[in-house]
Structure 1
Amino acid sequence: MSTHLLERKDVDERLTWDLSGIFKTEEEYEEAIKKVQELTMELEEEFKGKIDTSKTINNCLDKLKVLAQLLTLVGSYAHLAVSVDQTNTENLQKQMKFSNIASDIESRISFIESEIIVLDEKIINQAIEESKENANYLRKILRKKKHALHPEVEKALSALSAVLEAPEHIYNMAKLADMDFGTFTVDGKEYPLSFSLFETKWEYEEDTKIRRAAFEAFSKKLREYQHTIAAVYQTQVQKEKTIATLRRFDSVIDSLLFHQEVDRELYDRQIDLIMEHLAPYMRKFAKLLQKIHRIEEMTFADLKLEVDSEFEPSITIEEAKKYIEEGLSVFGEDYREMVRRAFNERWIDFAENKGKSTGAFCASPYGSHPYILINWADKMREVFVLSHELGHAGHFYLAHQHQNIFDSRPSMYFVEAPSTMNELLMANYLMKNNKDKRMRRWVLSTLISRTYYHNFVTHLLEAAYQREVYMIIDKGGSVTAPILNKLKREVLEKFWGDAVKINEGAELTWMRQPHYYMGLYPYTYSAGLTIATQVNKRYLQEGQKALEDWKEVLKAGGTKTPVELARMAGVDITTEKPLLDTIEYIGDMIDEIIKLTEELEK
């Protein structure tokens, strides 16, 4: 992997995604913006102040679906262009222009929900009976009825949407455009550093001096911005508290869980049981890493080390394509064809360049195909990352084929289940097709250090920290950098105990993730992987029937609650059994890794 970050204009086009799948030209994009503005005017003229019967409700919502689809395409086109280069001022201006237009549109069409929500429930229920297409949308409006505000207040909030979403935008600008990490020096040699380089290369560096020096330099730069980012985060959580209070929720947490369609019990259980029951297993894994790498004192900066870093194969994108296509072929030919198209039609942005978002994500605009962002590092572990994002892609690819735009997206609680399921299927494939003990250990340790660590440790510790923040906010308090640092350190120390030293800089980890600007997102990673683990276990025991049921779940989109979707797949998440079973499964894998390590050392 090159350590020199290219400008976006200098990267190989074949490694970039092709946004012409949304709009072929900039002119077509501009025409679409005009069209959404025209559709908004038509909706206002035809329906504002006139939604009073089941017929007008459904006629209005049918036209709203058309507007929503086009608005999604326009918004995705603008957002995706910026996500690969935060330094491109032309694209930034385009996104900001769209953001203002979208705020205006949201404000102007807010009357639709406001007018429906005040109607007699009999009229709304009649509209539900008359239109299967609009039924779920209307049921969700009925559910929100007691939390609705005066129509003029709803309109004002919609008009302010761009401003209310500013904290995440400011955070990303500081992180990806302004923070210059420069270089760090070890034994007289200079090494380049950036957010992306730290998270894809230096965190995994086997040389302890280089790895810890990178961590120290990275933390030093984060620390320079801690008060600014804390102020941005305080703005975010205070906004959420204000809206929760306006909408008559008892707490911010209840307000944010309302949209996920799960209750507080599922949220607290996910955090509390993992903090208590998973911690001992992960401490054992940390001790194994310490022994393998002959580290005198295990620190937070050492936790991303590989069990067998010398073994991990380098892999080209073309080789990864073959692995992924075969590994996910258990879903059938239609899914396999989707994977082929993703590679062949440039749905994926592999390039690493200056200003590009870190990590990986999948965007799935309704009416187009999915788009995947990844920073490809030529390592086999990227096969799991890409399989994960293709899990999101496959989910929405199927949901969009079978559901309208209102019904295509499930609750955030469920959204990480399909992605993590794909990681487990890739592990099945790699272990089934290679009986070598060292390969098996590598796959199992990758599942622990990447799949489960990422979802059950990294994001779970974010969730535990986030819950503490919201408890302070709910009591009328506020958060500053010293408070956030203290909360994060306490959570890390509680989880890792005496097994890992939480070294200076670890407390700044709260500055690294955008998830805190997306509601109660962090805990849903472990929730999704809990479901995926149980479905994968069912597949290994029962065979293809489990996957056929799973595909039906994917096709269902957002037509059911998380509890109902999980039940379709044979998992009951109303009890603690799936989570405790998954934690035990993780523990068994760690025990097997330790056993394989002992056998390989003989």
Structure 2
Amino acid sequence: MNSTIPQRNEIPEEYKWNLEAIYPDDSSWEQDFHKTEELSRKVSQFKGKLAESPQRLLECLNLDTEVSCLMEKVYVYAAMRKDQDTRDSKYQGLVQRAGSLSVKVNEATSFIVPGILQIPDETLENFYESEPELQFYKKYLNKILRKKGHILSAEQEELLARTGELASAPQTIFGMIDNADMKYGKVIVDGEEIELTKGRYAQLLENPEQEVRKKAFETLYESYSRQKNTIAATLNASIKKDVFYARTRKYPSALEASLLDDNIPVSVYTNLITTVKSRLDSMFEYLKLRKEMLGVEELHMYDIFAPLVSETKMEIPYKEAYETVKKGLAPLGEEYLAVLDEAYNSRWIDVYETEGKRSGAYSWGAYGTHPYVLLNHQDTLNDMFTLAHELGHSMHSYLSDKNQPYLYAQYTIFVAEVASTVNEALLMRYLLEHTDDKNTKMYLMTHFLNQFRSTLIRQTQFAEYEKITHEMVEKGESLTAEEFSAEYLKLNREYYGEGIIHDEEIALEWSRIPHFYNAFYVYKYATGFSAAIALSKAILEEGKPAVERYLEFLKSGGSDYPLELLKKAGVDMTTSKPIEDALDVFAQYVEELRKLHQEK
């Protein structure tokens, strides 16, 4: 681990993404920025005229689609430029301008949905018959018609659209606190004092020395504790924003408002929580085994990532990680692997942590250009799985964009984690099958069990936390740092049980979770993980038929509701079966790990 974080200009070009594939320079971005402004003004000429003729409606929808596609490209470029160095005021400015433009576009187009809803059903059917090209928009229009009871008048929709910039303020403020302003202090590792970052924090939690893990844990949360009241205010404001929009649009709750677009019943959300909580016995067994294997007197929250096989150290340089990922994904076929090679060789990926770079990892892009991947690679096993994960997202985007028009290409968040997790499951199976060494197998199983814990169980805990905190606001209850922490600690005790010490710092974990600013998002990690375990199992057991079903799912983008897309791929998320099956796999791995440990 380097003691200092490199500057961006110290990283070779081959390890930095090539954003020039979106815009060759900032002046090209400016041209599209102004073009978007101009086209959005043209949209307003259709206000009040959508019911006049099918041609009018078609022209408006075509123009609206063009503006939306262009706006996406403008925003994505600005945001990714900023993410490569969050301190760069120039690109901070471009993101702010793009955000303001997005609000203007939303204002200019806000009349469209209310206008469509005012067209009588019979008239709309006649439009389809007299203008065949309008049939292309039928799925899109039907989705809008489902919201009929929640769309306001054109004037009210325009007013709501103007609140967009204000509504994004809590997330923006938290992002600047969390990524640009907050410093985490220093910790001593192997006698060397190093600066703590979020990337290094994850790495230090895997340190074999409990004292190092404890110090990193306490140092990180000390920083969040100093900001807890400010962050509580931003998160409270974000939740109030969700409740405001839900009530304004006449939804029974913020949760139900969030589920309508995807046509997801509330029962899918609550069933996830109920099913996981009914099966936590395997989680408690895993923690008991972890304590035993670590040989510690007390198991703490900072011990849950610690390696259980101290003799096994897997240092995996980026190139080796990529080659191993490719081998693991070989069951998906040559076409899939060829696109992975293009991503690697054509600089779709921004690889290493640099000063000021956004933390974490993501896959993102704009329609009409290839997707991109942001990493903060540290040569660990976890980072290799992160690479596989983000490439899954990118392949989903690439195949969707290639096979669907813009309007139907964007897959919903509900299915967004399926492709990424299928990649991880296939990679894990490959690694386990290609080693006879018991220590290595145990090391890999530990990693996979941690994936289950952090993705299926932890994200379900987060989902329940979001449900509780939104319900508190809906009831008019207060949410200060103390209340946020009390509710979080209570849930942590339920999900982790009494076999672990619930360190006081963990009550503040809510304060460092950026996903909480995208309400009711995290449950989709858990449902997606469950679906992915089922799909990866079918791919390995059935072979070609399952691969073809899966690739068709990836190519389908957002052309149908997510539950329907998954059913076609072979998974029914309206039942508890995929979640039960995933938890069965978790229990099996716990038992297998226990047997290997006892054989040593």
TM-score range, shorter chain: over 0.9
Describe the SS at the equivalent of 1:499.
coil
Separation in structure 2 between the aligned mates of residue 229 and residue 263 of structure 1, nearest angstrom: 31
Describe the SS at the equivalent of 2:586.
helix
Describe the SS at the equivalent of 2:111.
helix
Change in CA separation of 1:30 and 1:501 when aligned onto 2, cut-off 3 Å: same
User: Are 1:289 and 2:312 counterparts?
Assistant: no
Describe the SS at the equivalent of 1:50.
coil
Change in CA separation of 1:472 and 1:127 when aligned onto 2, cut-off 3 Å: farther
User: Are 1:318 and 2:319 counterparts?
Assistant: yes
User: How far 1:15 sits from its partner (Å)?
Assistant: 2.1
Describe the SS at the equivalent of 1:407.
helix
Q: Greater shift after overlay, 348-357 or 499-508? A: 348-357
1:519 matched to which residue of 2?
Answer: 519
Contact preservation (8 Å) 1:289, 1:306: no
Contact preservation (8 Å) 1:133, 1:404: no
Aligned residues: 596
Q: Taking structure 1 as the reference length, what is the TM-score of the superposition?
A: 0.96
1:51 matched to which residue of 2?
Answer: 50
1:273 matched to which residue of 2?
Answer: 275
Q: Taking structure 2 as the reference length, what is the TM-score of the superposition?
A: 0.96
Contact preservation (8 Å) 2:3, 2:193: no
1:503 matched to which residue of 2?
Answer: 503
User: Are 1:304 and 2:311 counterparts?
Assistant: no
Separation in structure 2 between the aligned mates of residue 583 and residue 114 of structure 1, nearest angstrom: 44
Q: Greater shift after overlay, 423-432 or 127-136? A: 127-136
User: Are 1:209 and 2:211 counterparts?
Assistant: yes
Separation in structure 2 between the aligned mates of residue 589 and residue 210 of structure 1, nearest angstrom: 28
Describe the SS at the equivalent of 2:352.
coil
For 1:166, the aligned partner's letter is: A
Question: 1:183-215, CA deviations, whole angstroms, 9 ceiling, x for partnerless residues?
Answer: 13579753321223212x122221111110111
Change in CA separation of 1:438 and 1:25 when aligned onto 2, cut-off 3 Å: same
Separation in structure 1 between the aligned mates of residue 486 and residue 212 of structure 2, nearest angstrom: 27
Specify which of 133, 137, 140 is matched with residue 136 of structure 2.
133
User: Are 1:230 and 2:232 counterparts?
Assistant: yes
Specify which of 157, 177, 183 is matched with residue 160 of structure 2.
157
Contact preservation (8 Å) 2:331, 2:539: no
Change in CA separation of 1:435 and 1:548 when aligned onto 2, cut-off 3 Å: farther
User: How far 1:128 sits from its partner (Å)?
Assistant: 5.6
Separation in structure 1 between the aligned mates of residue 386 and residue 483 of structure 2, nearest angstrom: 33
User: How far 1:392 sits from its partner (Å)?
Assistant: 0.7
Describe the SS at the equivalent of 1:413.
helix
1:192 matched to which residue of 2?
Answer: 195
The 5 Å alignment of 1:53-68 reads 53-68=53-68
Specify which of 217, 242, 245 is matched with residue 244 of structure 2.
242
1:218 matched to which residue of 2?
Answer: 220
Consecutive unaligned residues of structure 1, counting only runs of 5 or more, are none
User: How far 1:63 sits from its partner (Å)?
Assistant: 2.1
Separation in structure 2 between the aligned mates of residue 71 and residue 3 of structure 1, nearest angstrom: 41
Percent identical among aligned pairs is 29
1:407 matched to which residue of 2?
Answer: 408
Describe the SS at the equivalent of 2:497.
helix
1:386 matched to which residue of 2?
Answer: 387
Consecutive unaligned residues of structure 2, counting only runs of 5 or more, are none
Describe the SS at the equivalent of 1:375.
strand
Contact preservation (8 Å) 2:4, 2:194: no
The 5 Å alignment of 1:48-197 reads 48-52=47-51, 53-127=53-127, 130=132, 131-185=134-188, 190-197=193-200
Change in CA separation of 1:325 and 1:185 when aligned onto 2, cut-off 3 Å: closer
Change in CA separation of 1:64 and 1:349 when aligned onto 2, cut-off 3 Å: same
Contact preservation (8 Å) 1:410, 1:561: no
User: How far 1:468 sits from its partner (Å)?
Assistant: 1.0
Contact preservation (8 Å) 2:184, 2:220: yes
Question: 1:138-171, CA deviations, whole angstroms, 9 ceiling, x for partnerless residues?
Answer: 1111111110011111112212212211111110
Change in CA separation of 1:222 and 1:336 when aligned onto 2, cut-off 3 Å: same
Change in CA separation of 1:306 and 1:185 when aligned onto 2, cut-off 3 Å: closer
1:573 matched to which residue of 2?
Answer: 573
Change in CA separation of 1:481 and 1:127 when aligned onto 2, cut-off 3 Å: farther
The 5 Å alignment of 1:358-437 reads 358-437=359-438
Separation in structure 1 between the aligned mates of residue 82 and residue 197 of structure 2, nearest angstrom: 18
Pairwise CA RMSD: 1.7
Change in CA separation of 1:189 and 1:379 when aligned onto 2, cut-off 3 Å: closer
For 2:468, the aligned partner's letter is: E
Q: Greater shift after overlay, 333-342 or 220-229? A: 333-342
Describe the SS at the equivalent of 2:407.
coil
Describe the SS at the equivalent of 1:372.
strand
Separation in structure 2 between the aligned mates of residue 111 and residue 363 of structure 1, nearest angstrom: 29
Question: 1:269-308, CA deviations, whole angstroms, 9 ceiling, x for partnerless residues?
Answer: 111211220x221222222222222111001111111222
User: How far 1:538 sits from its partner (Å)?
Assistant: 1.8
Separation in structure 1 between the aligned mates of residue 531 and residue 7 of structure 2, nearest angstrom: 40
Contact preservation (8 Å) 1:128, 1:138: no
Describe the SS at the equivalent of 1:319.
helix
